[in-house]
């Protein structure tokens, strides 16, 4: 669930603490991080569903993981919600991902999103921060980086730097350093 996973846990807590929402039921979760690898994702979901019945699936954010879950969820007629999965293939609901909903558009739309933020805050210069700690993530982020780069070039926006960070990065120092060059 990475850095966005807290939203799921907050939602679970809120739903479980309000008896009027699901009377007689309690939401529980099973978590697994396949680190962006499709085979690990398939192995995990098959192992999970072998012993338990799931009412819904949530996550992951990477399309390579979401594709097998989306297809299995459709076969099992189980709702599946992910916070990203921006590949264009997920827009095809008929026959492929009928039970899947995503909360973010395609990676091709990300450049326009960044442009809108830059316009809103009158920015003409910014930095892009990425966590590229696996080859799968590097491949995953090539399309959004190109989308952001293309939109920046067409709209006279300067990308001051691309910063790769990981779990051991001191985020306060990173943000302080980036803010000096990004604006």
Cis before residue 60, ω within 30 degrees of 0? Answer: yes
Contact between 172 and 155 (Cβ < 8 Å)? no
**CATH code given to domain 2-105:** 3.40.50.2300
pTM greater than 0.85 (yes/no): no
Q: In this predicted model, which residue has the larger pLDDT, 9 or 80?
A: 80
pLDDT of residue 82: 80
**Segment 102-127 mean pLDDT:** 81
pLDDT of residue 132: 67
Q: Domain boundaries in the chain?
A: 2-105, 108-182
pLDDT of residue 5: 61
**Segment 89-106 mean pLDDT:** 73
One DSSP character per residue, 13-29 reads HHHHH-TTTSTT-----
CB atoms within 10 A of CB 114: 22
Q: How far apart are CA 114 and CA 147, in angstroms?
A: 9
Q: How far apart are CA 132 and CA 165, in angstroms?
A: 7
**CATH code given to domain 108-182:** 3.40.50.2300
Same fold, 2-105 and 108-182: yes
Tens digit of pLDDT for each residue in 44-75?
889 888 888 888 887 776 778 888 888 898 99
């Amino acid at each position: 669930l990475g850095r966005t996973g807290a939203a799921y846990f907050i939602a679970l807590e809120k739903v479980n603490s309000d008896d009027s929402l699901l009377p007689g039921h309690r939401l529980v979760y099973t978590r697994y991080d396949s680190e962006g690898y499709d085979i690990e994702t398939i192995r995990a979901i098959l192992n999970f569903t072998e012993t338990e019945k799931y009412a819904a699936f949530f996550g992951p954010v990477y399309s390579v993981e979401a594709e097998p879950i989306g297809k299995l969820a459709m076969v099992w007629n189980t709702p599946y919600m992910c916070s990203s999965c921006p590949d264009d293939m997920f827009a095809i609901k008929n026959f492929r991902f009928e039970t899947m909903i995503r909360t973010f558009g395609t990676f091709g739309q990300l450049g326009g999103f960044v442009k809108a933020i830059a316009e809103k805050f009158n920015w003409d210069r910014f930095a892009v921060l990425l966590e590229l700690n696996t080859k799968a993530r590097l491949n995953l982020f090539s399309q959004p980086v190109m989308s952001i780069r293309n939109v920046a070039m067409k709209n006279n926006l300067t990308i001051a730097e691309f910063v790769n960070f990981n779990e051991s990065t001191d985020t306060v120092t990173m943000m302080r350093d980036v803010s000096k060059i990004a604006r």
